Structure 1
Amino acid sequence: MPALTIGEAAGVEKPNLEDEQLVPGEKLLTPDEARASERLAEKRSSEPGLLRFFLMLNAGLVLTAISIVVFKTPNHFAFGGTSGVSVILSSLVPDLPVSAFMWILNIVLVVLGFIFLPKKAVGWSIYASIALSAFVSLVELVYPSNVSPTGDMWLDLCFAVILPALGSAIVFDIGASTGGTDILAMILKRHTSLQIGKALMMVDIGIVLIAAVLFGPRTGLYCVLGLFAKTLVVDDAIESLHLRKVCTVISQQPAEVEKYIVRNLKRSATISYGYGAYSGKRVTVLMSVLSTREAMRLRLFVRKIDPGAFITIVNSSEIIGKGFRDMN
């Protein structure tokens, strides 16, 4: 004898959903509203305009430059990349600032990029390399001291990781890069069969080991922490920029919830039908992907019109489709 569901055991008849004609919800928008929603969806899906792209790219580079001059250089934090090499070279040749070595290294990488890569492939990376060197020089003029601003090595390490991680997340989010070793990675990828991620990681580890030898084990261990923390924080920062809420609502007022999502939040939703395993009653399930603020508004609205509604809200940073700009 087959096992009974809870609903069947309670004497509730299970609905035969396959035999029912499930029709889509009625059109909630007028033709003008539908066209306006279509334009809004296209705007949400579009890439940033040139001006916004340029401003965000430079904002990310400025944050990176501040971290290099204010927090990395005074503590000899060399986490890898051109900034790490520049910090080491500046300590060996104290007459030259970190920015001088960044100019030298980035110009060499730019020349290599022009030689070995198509110009279109390295356009913004070349700009980022030059601009980062210029911003480091500018920050050195504003903050000429080689002394830690806090006097606390651990606090400096936190900001030396957080600021460039946030800067890199902003830059990566618009589809650009901070230049420097990214150009080297593109060259290796195009002309060799090396695994680029592992190759660059080995270079970064080598830079950290050199820093440990030059500046002592204490600084070296801080650099090791910074190297691994940088990777984790960058990933988390990028995910937070893309974070969206996947909201699922089961309510006794599904039409009102649907109207609120479409008319007030200017979003769409997927509607499906099911039945409660305990009650055996048919239910309408609405699923919509929203921003954090939109999800909060939806939650408050649903709780207001139907205090007994069932709501689940989960995070997602991988959203691909119309109305969402996929940069992952």
Structure 2
Amino acid sequence: MKFDNKVMMTALLLIVGSFLEAFAYAAFCAPNQIVPGGVYGLTIAINHVTKGLWGFQDGLPIGTTALFFNVPLFLLAWKKLGLKSGGKTIATFLMIAFFSDLISRYLGDSELIKSVQKDQLLGAFYGGAILGIGVFMVFKAGGTSAGTDVLARVITKGTNMKLSNMIIVIDSTVVLVGLLAFKDWMVPLYSWLTIIVYGQVVGLLSPENPKRAVFIVAKDPRSLKDTINTKLGMRATYLHGEGMYAGVNREVIFMIVERKDVAKLKKAVLAIDPTAFISTTNAAQDQNIEA
């Protein structure tokens, strides 16, 4: 029952998170000519320039078009972030594409969409906030939408850079495409505002530091090597120490892991050694400063 509850919660986070992302794109960004970076920023621009072309009166649908970009990004996520997020990634970007086109088709002429179109500033704030919440929920479930967040996670993987800041940097470069597509200087202004709101919401909901330093004291630290290296795909270091009171030599396992993986690591270690002592703390990387 415990396992089933966990699976259901993960599925709920992915579904709701995907819907919120799609809702932000289709209901707030696209109608207001906002290009919020990433794959959907590109597809919103493509949707605009293809209106009336090739029989697409309303332009190429943003959700379906996004799928063509998400495939290579999915392969990048698969290679760099591991196979464990593969199924969740596929499910997420398929749901976002489906929800985006569904919302655009059935809510495109609704009063809700029309009311937002009257105020780009309102659309930027609502779109950014809802997008940030959706992305956070997908992250919380251990997934990715195979968009800008993939690039941000790949770049920050193995570093102590803040994910939300990297998202802002990458997405900002995509805004220039929107400027060329819409030929309107208001587009970058509201697009960057959306990206900033989106990044700040992710940063607010996410921990300040994405890394944790972990110390493990076990009866037989060597017995944990295969579980940590092979099963979990993590790296660790043996620290050789001596007990201050009894003077007994002891090895301590030291690791730097992503915060989201700490619970998984603890569960695996305690399954082998229920008496193991596990301590975690924030991991900060000091920069070298020359006098």
TM interval, short-chain normalised:
0.5 to 0.7
The partner residue of 2:70 within 106, 112, 123 is 106
Greater shift after overlay, 169-178 or 90-99? 169-178
The alpha carbon displacement at 1:175 in A equals 3.2
Q: Does 1:119 align with 2:76?
A: no
RMSD of aligned residue pairs (Cα, Å): 3.7
Check 1:56–1:199 CA distance in 2 against 1; reply closer, same or farther (3 A cut).
Answer: closer
Contact 2:47 2:61 in 1 (8 A): yes
Q: Secondary structure at the match of 2:31?
A: helix
Q: Take 2:13 and 2:173, find their aligned partners in 1: how far apart are those partners?
A: 31
Q: Specify the alignment match of 1:51 in structure 2.
A: 8
SS in 1 for 2:115: coil
Gaps spanning 5+ residues in structure 2: where? 208-261, 267-279, 283-291
Q: 1:133 aligns with which of 86, 97, 109?
A: 97
| Cα distance between partner residues in 1 of 2:137 and 2:77 | 23
Map 1:17-36; keep pairs closer than 5 Å.
none
Identity of aligned residues (%): 23
What does residue 233 of structure 1 align with?
201
Contact in 2 for aligned 1:86/1:102 (Cα 8 Å): yes
Structure 1 SS opposite 2:145: coil
Report which of the two structures shows the higher radius of gyration computed on alpha carbons. Answer: 1
2:21 and 2:131 in contact (8 A); partners too: yes
| Structure 2: distance between partners of 1:189 and 1:161 | 22
- The two structures have a TM-score, normalised by structure 1, of 0.51
Check conservation: 2:18, 2:95, Cα contact below 8 A.
yes
Alpha-carbon deviation of 1:185?
4.6
Query: Which amino acid in 2 is paired with 1:233?
Result: V
Please name the residue that 1:149 is paired with. 115
Contact 1:82/1:106 (CA < 8 Å) preserved in 2? yes
Q: CA deviation at 1:97?
A: 1.8
| Alpha-carbon distance between aligned partners in 1 of 2:156 and 2:200, rounded to the nearest angstrom | 23
Pairwise CA distance, 1:135: 1.6
Residue-by-residue CA offset, 1:153-212 (whole Å, 9 max, x unaligned):
11111211121122223223333333323344566678x99x896775443122112223
Tell me which residue corresponds to 1:301. none
Instruction: Specify whether residues 234 and 211 from structure 1 end up closer, same or farther in structure 2 by C-alpha distance, changes over 3 A only.
Output: same
Of the candidates 108, 127, 136, which is equivalent to residue 169 of structure 1?
Answer: 136
Match of 2:40 in 1: 83
Check if 1:65 corresponds to 2:33: no
How far off its partner does 1:82 sit?
1.1
| 1:1-328 correspondence runs (5 A) | 49-94=6-51, 95=56, 96-113=60-77, 118-145=82-109, 148-150=114-116, 151-185=118-152, 201-215=168-182, 216-238=184-206
Could you give the per-residue CA deviations for residues 103-127 of structure 1, whole angstroms, max 9, x where no partner exists?
Answer: 2112332345556764324331222
Q: Which has the higher contact order (CA 8 A, sep 6+)?
A: 1
Q: Which runs of 5+ in 1 are unaligned?
A: 1-42, 240-319
TM-score by length of 2: 0.57
Contact 1:106 1:130 in 2 (8 A): no
Query: Structure 1, residues 272-327: CA drift from partner, whole Å, max 9, x if none?
Result: xxxxxxxxxxxxxxxxxxxxxxxxxxxxxxxxxxxxxxxxxxxxxxxx999xxx9x
Distance 1:209 1:47, change over 3 A: farther
Q: Could you tell me how far apart the structure 2 residues matched to 1:85 and 1:99 are? A: 11
